[in-house]
Chains A and B, each alone.
Chain A
């Protein structure tokens, strides 16, 4: 079982054909294609009016700006417009774009169901994505998942910064715990303070706390106190 009616929007004709061949292989015949965003939007509208709406939109993000009369210029714009007139349609983005901020914005803000990067295994991944999305799941291909993943990257939050500063000033764990408690800063238990410090040491590749303080101050994480 799979989708019955799909619209593929992709401005390279050859790629369009590749996708359609693939869809036919999995036994989906109700596939239409469009090379321009405006045209795609009209097709969606018409299908709604004919009471036979598309179930899935597979869409690229960037389109050649050559046809000057086009009003909708990007996949993102197209998706927004379609989702306002047909909120229940499922969308899979199929693009060469692998920039994390773009993928994240599409997944989180535009609520697309799937994201697949074109590449060596692009078509295979697209096949998987269609299946998953059909089962009401969200799907990102390994390339885009990788782009979104935290890679040995740490953002110190206010709590950790404050902790570093206090340690640098020579406070003992117990004193910090008392101070945090008095300031309503959580967690304040000695145990969690030690846990945080050990995590920080790990992240700074520091074997001792003094090495951690040295590295943190070299890196500018501990602001010089002005008093």
Chain B
């Protein structure tokens, strides 16, 4: 008795749920659309006006503000996002960074409320960029790190890699070379073998510079070569060759180093690029001086570079030139050396480069001491403050990134392997260590084993529950509704009655919905008929509007694939196809199955509207797919653009 009450409550709730669904869609249809259209037209013209480059920025901001206010009033999120994106860019162009940051924050809050990950990332990247421009490195780093976290969550490894590059550059500019290297290497792991050459180039260059700063010159050269291999812009190549020359000179390979620079000086492209030309001259002067302190060329080379850099007001270049000159006169003419060190300090202050301030102050203190001059208290204080601040920021940055980094299981594993290998080499004779390691491994194994076993039990349980519920809906609810239908059909008083016809049709709808619900969970034949089962699944999604193409599967294709994996694969395809049917408007779907020795790859592709339009809706479906793929230890990639279709491919071990 109790059971039947619960059961009828259950059915009732399904029916209520379904009819609520009906109600909703009708309600939406009834909203008058015309008033919106008119408003949107004028709205969009504001937007178009605000995008015209030839207008002054103030004028464009005026238009974009109108657009923003109107879209805000209409509560149209997609338009609000557009407005805020442009508004922030214009404020930034106008050097109103506080406003840019304010509205980028606004964009972030709105997109966060809607859980729109794409715009959350866009807002965070903007915030990172603006914060960096006002020298707020800590916040900038935090913003990029947050963007990275989201990108990782939605498996956008390309954007995640770009975030890591931005983070590595911040760390490098703050002198945190170990941190920068770690971040950049993580970025490389994400983007290796992709076509993201621009980002990869930046990452390699960063790693190279970090290795150089840590005096690991052979690794520095290795990454310099990697970066050179993919560098495209002549400017990038020039910078890389300079770095190469510097690394070689660090290794005391002066001849080779100068060869690189001399070859560059013969390049006609270089002459047109004053900034790079000055860089080569200054480096050449410096390296020649390193090679031979009494050579006659260095002095004039260094001065020539300084003149050019002063002309084009290249602040970073000026720091480098003045430091080079400080070093040049360091022994021979301490007063002149101090003059240049002071200039380098001034340049570093003007762009607030903490790392360079410290370097310049180092020379100033040393020289003043040697010249028996008094050191200004304020300078000493500044030195302490700056170095403390720098250390704090660097520590904080590492702390910010650390959790994100260690969430990544793959990285943990790789690091653990690397660390244990290093330790092993160092402590070969230390038997206690070996025992400790064994104990740890044993524990890990036990934990892993237990987790696996629990997971297996949980998955099995889930399958059983799915099956049970599905059978209930299918058989019992189905039969009950069928009985009601026959009752109405067989009741002489209702035959031909319009109302009963309505009821009948409604019941029939509910009947087929109940069947659809249960279809998602019915048992799947994983034996000989599995291929047929899959083909029937694909077939059931084909209709006049959608063509489905696949390949015939050879006999034995599913050999040695466990029943569990077969079931999960079936569900994954079912989710993808259901999503396709609901949202994509695709007219063509292709699904191919490829079996390799140890794994199976399934490629799904459609020509629908892609994911961006339906980001939110799709995410739930994709989450299920992702969980299932993770469950069978597979991995996947997907690719989608607005109106460019959807491509999904996943591989799992057989």
Q: Taking beta carbons and an 8 Å cutoff, which residues of A are in contact with B?
A: 12, 14-15, 18, 21, 62, 64, 96-101, 104-105, 118-120, 122-123, 147, 150-158, 161, 203-205, 215-216, 218-221, 223
Contacts and interface: CB of A to CB of B under 8 A. Distances in A.
B549 A203 contact: yes
15 contacts: A96-B475, A97-B474, A99-B519, A101-B525, A101-B536, A119-B512, A120-B511, A122-B485, A153-B535, A155-B535, A158-B552, A204-B590, A205-B547, A220-B594, A221-B549
B592 A221 contact: yes
Contact of B550 (A14, A99, A156): A156
A98 B504 CA distance: 20
Contacts of A152: 542-544, 546-548
A153 B504 CA distance: 32
Given A101-B533, A157-B552, A221-B590, A118 B489 contact: no
B522 interface: yes
B483 A12 contact: yes
B482 A219 contact: no
10 closest A-B pairs by beta carbon, nearest first, are A219-B590, A96-B478, A220-B592, A220-B603, A151-B542, A153-B542, A152-B542, A100-B536, A120-B508, A153-B539
A94 B53 CA distance: 71
A153 B474 CA distance: 27
Interface string B241-254: 00000000000000
A152 B479 CA distance: 31
Interface residues of B, number: 52
B544 A14 contact: no
B486 A18 contact: yes
Given A99-B536, A205-B587, A118 B549 contact: no
Given A105-B529, A203-B547, A15 B588 contact: no
Contact of B515 (A98, A104, A153, A157): A98
A18 B484 CA distance: 11
A150 B539 contact: yes
B551 interface: yes
Contacts of B549: 153-156, 203-204, 219, 221
Contact of A96 (B482, B490, B540, B542): B482
B478 to A, nearest CB: 4
Interface string B509-535: 001100100010010010001001101
A120 B501 CA distance: 11
B190 interface: no
Contacts of B519: 99
Contacts of B483: 12, 14-15, 18
Give the most central of A97, A122, A150, A154: most B CB within 10 Å.
Answer: A154
Given A62-B474, A96-B515, A120-B508, A151 B550 contact: no
B303 interface: no
Interface in B22-41: none
A94 to B, nearest CB: 10
Contact of B551 (A14, A123, A155): A155
Interface in B455-486: 471, 474-476, 478-480, 482-483, 485-486
B70 interface: no
Given A96-B474, A99-B522, 12 more contacts: A18-B483, A101-B529, A104-B532, A120-B485, A120-B505, A123-B486, A156-B550, A161-B551, A203-B547, A204-B549, A219-B603, A221-B592
Give the most central of B482, B529, B592: most A CB within 10 Å.
Answer: B482
A98 B522 CA distance: 11
Contacts of A118: 478-479, 482
Nearest to B548: A153
B647 A151 contact: no
Contact of B511 (A119, A155, A215): A119
B64 interface: no
A218 B649 CA distance: 11
Contacts of B475: 62, 64, 96
A123 B490 CA distance: 10
B360 interface: no
A157 B605 CA distance: 19
Contact of A156 (B522, B546, B551): B551
